[in-house]
């Protein structure tokens, strides 16, 4: 018997997916696009107003939203207790700030590592220990080309945090693979989100930077979301331990 004409390996129908940092940027786009693909979406972030804005844009029913500061252990524990079985987790919450090495202090470094690296580690660990992942679940980490592929001045703390995240993903893929749980990173170049529009780069520097991209533009949040959807879906069922680069050709041009 042939496949149904409605067969779509990229569908997220009947999958429950938790997305962190869903109040803006890539997280918000991922939540919205996952809902369009049929997923039951659970979104979390620290800003109630922005999280509600994302929630109102989700398609379909059965979605959930939970306020949580993932840098606080107790709030991770509370979130994990509220979660039922998951088919997917998108560890997306993150921060970034351009600072040359001589201006990085311990407080700034700790903050970046806590949000970008330690929080996704602890959330993944606690969900795993509590057996909240279904067999064949998919975990996606939003990393960056700054972690491994594209080293630029002033991006030390951010790059360190993403490099560590890439390493954790590979170890998690090895250990969780016995249960069919897949772990992959998405590694974007610069994307038009509030994270990069913080005034750190002047307009002149921004235009110079864009020239490094063969496509002569930065990415859009939904373009990264589509890659995340691929990694969450059955279409990537034989992919684990992989860093998927979506960077408009930046690293090819390096």
**Domains in the chain, please, with CATH?**
16-253 (3.40.50.720)
pLDDT tens digits along 127-158: 999 999 999 999 999 999 998 888 888 899 99
Q: What pLDDT was estimated at residue 249?
A: 95
Please answer whether residues 153 and 102 qualify as being in contact, where contact means their C-beta atoms are separated by less than 8 angstroms: no
Mean pLDDT of the chain: 93
Catalytic residues: 158
| pLDDT tens per residue, range 195-244 | 666 656 788 888 998 999 999 999 999 999 999 999 999 999 999 999 99
CB 63 within 8 A of CB 40: yes
Of the candidate ranges 40-54, 174-188, 199-213, the one whose mean pLDDT is the lowest:
199-213
Condensed to tens digits (0 to 9), the pLDDT of residues 32-41 reads: 999 999 999 9
Cβ pair 159, 108 in contact under 8 A: no
């Amino acid at each position: 018997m042939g496949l149904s004409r409605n067969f779509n390996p990229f569908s997220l129908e009947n999958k429950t997916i938790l997305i962190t940092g869903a109040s803006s940027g890539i997280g918000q786009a991922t939540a919205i696009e996952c809902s369009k693909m049929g997923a039951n979406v659970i979104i979390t972030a620290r800003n109630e107003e922005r999280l509600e804005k994302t929630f109102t844009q989700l398609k379909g029913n059965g979605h959930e939203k939970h306020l949580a500061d993932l840098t606080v252990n107790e709030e991770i524990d509370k979130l994990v207790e509220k979660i039922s079985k998951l088919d997917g987790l998108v560890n997306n919450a993150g921060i970034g700030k351009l600072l040359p090495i001589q201006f990085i202090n311990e407080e700034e470094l700790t903050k970046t590592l806590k949000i970008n690296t330690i929080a996704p580690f602890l959330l993944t660990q606690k969900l795993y220990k509590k057996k909240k992942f279904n067999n064949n679940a998919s975990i996606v980490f939003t990393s960056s080309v700054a972690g491994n592929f594209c080293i630029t001045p002033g991006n030390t703390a951010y790059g360190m945090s993403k490099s560590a995240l890439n390493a954790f993903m590979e170890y998690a893929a090895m250990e969780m693979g016995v249960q069919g749980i897949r772990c992959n990173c998405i590694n974007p170049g610069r994307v038009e989100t509030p994270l990069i529009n913080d005034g750190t780069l002047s307009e002149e520097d921004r235009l110079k930077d864009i020239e490094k991209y063969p496509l002569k533009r930065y990415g859009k949040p939904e373009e990264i979301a589509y890659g995340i959807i691929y990694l969450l879906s059955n279409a990537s069922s034989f992919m684990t331990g992989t860093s998927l680069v979506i960077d408009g050709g930046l690293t090819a041009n390096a």
